[in-house]
Structure 1
């Protein structure tokens, strides 16, 4: 063997030794990074089990799924795609973290909305007015016609001639639509300031015609008959029912504003502000349109934070 050939062989052997060292070092570094990644992935899986609980109270497993876990490399064996594998797993972790963050924000927003609605429901949970038996309208046996006035002694019970004359002056319409006639009669009584009589008539309409096209008008006006009679606590359940039972009803937005007004009358600032906030959120076009004046008026009556 010539000297030159021998020198060339030494050079090749040295290069192979260096390459072998690099191959041995690469798996060691990859294994260290892999251990760190596995720790991070385990923590994310624990967090996922808290954010995504199963309906039966147990935790299910929307866990980090990373490329290469199904067929792991043998310990100490060099991987030709170690860097690619690590990058893919990091991208998976980042994606899972983004999903967890978004879900956490959605949960917080949903909880806030539920708490606001529960607040309104708690106020409206006061005993609702007892429904009067269906039938002809009755004149209250109170001389001044106010349902909030003390009841007169039994011996002196009976409507005054003036009260009777006012009620009898209100004609009940007859258009062939029995439901609309009942509602219109209640409206006329309310318009005349005969609030207790209007309450009786409108309850008759609501009970008999719950599917009538004027039902949203009827429930809203029934609440107003109590509110205008100075009984906001009795009015609130009707306003809330009209809004919640049919949020797209013709007078659902009106009822939500009147509910805010009833809460102001009851000096319940917190719930009044919640009702106003929900109105502006659900009906922004009406807040600057048909109901703008009423909305601004109710806002001026209360200071909301």
Structure 2
């Protein structure tokens, strides 16, 4: 028995309907997916805009919102938030600038106070060894050469109370003799590239030749004109010796004291302290002489048993100290 199958043809209408149904079934999920994707992108944009509004310039730059003016989410609060944060930053910058200015001013004031304290300490230090009397000021003792007349006001004290009218000023020696002037002129003044050293050396030569008044005048000029010269400590010490060797211990003492107080570590500071003791011994001021000798022994123990040992022991034998 033979079975035959007969193919039933579908009409175009039925086929068209099936095709449309298939297309519709396929396009509905795609449309839904497109709508969901759009909504997700919108939400992501709004989140990014909100983050940039709350944290403007978080990466060093300011990002404008990515939502347009006709978006569903309101964006009117962004400019206000940005303005407030910007104002805070400006105020912080101003505060930092003020703090920097105050810090700088405080440092300057501190430095000025330190400098003032140093200057005050330097001014007060020379006045410490007051038992020896005042040291000479910048206006050094006036050195009178044989050609200078003695002031009338001091003449009475120097002559034991004689009246200035009875002893006129003209009674003083008229001046150096021609032989003395010629001898002084024979002492050559050096001429080198260091004028300060030349002035000191010339004063030393005058003192070494025994011309003490001339040496006093020359050395006074040197120490006042070159107070910071490397030879200044030598000049002040030698000036005191020019007075001491000339029989004027009272005029010599202030120069020895000044040289010692100026710089206790200077080359001739210990020598001046010993000569200060000698000047006090010459004035029969045992108390101050003992103070000078005691300070020398405490300040310069190595020199007291070394280079200046003989002079130190000699002075000690001249006085009786407690």
TM-score calculated relative to the size of structure 1: 0.54
- The corresponding residue for 1:118 is 130
Aligned to 2:170, which of 142, 153, 157?
153
Aligned to 1:174, which of 181, 191, 209?
191
Q: Distance in 2 between matches of 1:249 and 1:285?
A: 15
- SS across alignment from 2:298: helix
Q: Is the 8 A contact 2:273 2:292 kept in 1?
A: yes
Q: Distance in 1 between matches of 2:140 and 2:262?
A: 18
- The corresponding residue for 1:289 is 306
Aligned CA distance change for structure 1 residues 139 and 171 (closer, same or farther; 3 Å): farther
Q: Which has the higher contact order (CA 8 A, sep 6+)?
A: 1
- The corresponding residue for 1:141 is 147
Over residues 172-211 of structure 1, what are the superposed CA-to-partner deviations in whole Å (9 max), with x where a residue is unaligned? 0112110000000000000000000000000110011001
CA RMSD of aligned residues (A): 3.2
Note if 1:186 corresponds to 2:197: no
Q: Distance in 2 between matches of 1:129 and 1:281?
A: 30
- The corresponding residue for 2:269 is 252
Runs of 4+ aligned structure 1 residues displaced above 6 Å come to 148-152
Segments of structure 2 that go 5 or more residues without pairing to the other structure are 1-125, 149-157, 160-166
Aligned CA distance change for structure 1 residues 151 and 166 (closer, same or farther; 3 Å): farther
Q: Is the 8 A contact 2:303 2:309 kept in 1?
A: yes
**Which structure 2 residues correspond to residues 1-305 of structure 1 after superposition, within 5 A?**
117-121=129-133, 130-131=141-142, 140-141=146-147, 153=170, 157-305=174-322
Over residues 197-247 of structure 1, what are the superposed CA-to-partner deviations in whole Å (9 max), with x where a residue is unaligned? 000000110011001000000000001000111111111110001001100
Q: Is the 8 A contact 1:141 1:152 kept in 2?
A: no
- SS across alignment from 1:260: helix
Q: Is the 8 A contact 2:253 2:279 kept in 1?
A: yes
CA shift for structure 1 position 169: 1.1
TM-score calculated relative to the size of structure 2: 0.51
Q: Is the 8 A contact 2:215 2:242 kept in 1?
A: yes
- SS across alignment from 2:133: helix
Aligned CA distance change for structure 1 residues 278 and 162 (closer, same or farther; 3 Å): same
Q: Distance in 2 between matches of 1:257 and 1:163?
A: 32
Q: Distance in 1 between matches of 2:172 and 2:248?
A: 27
Q: Distance in 2 between matches of 1:242 and 1:206?
A: 10
Select the structure of larger CA radius of gyration: 2
Over residues 232-281 of structure 1, what are the superposed CA-to-partner deviations in whole Å (9 max), with x where a residue is unaligned? 11111100010011000000000000000000001000000000000000
Aligned CA distance change for structure 1 residues 167 and 125 (closer, same or farther; 3 Å): closer
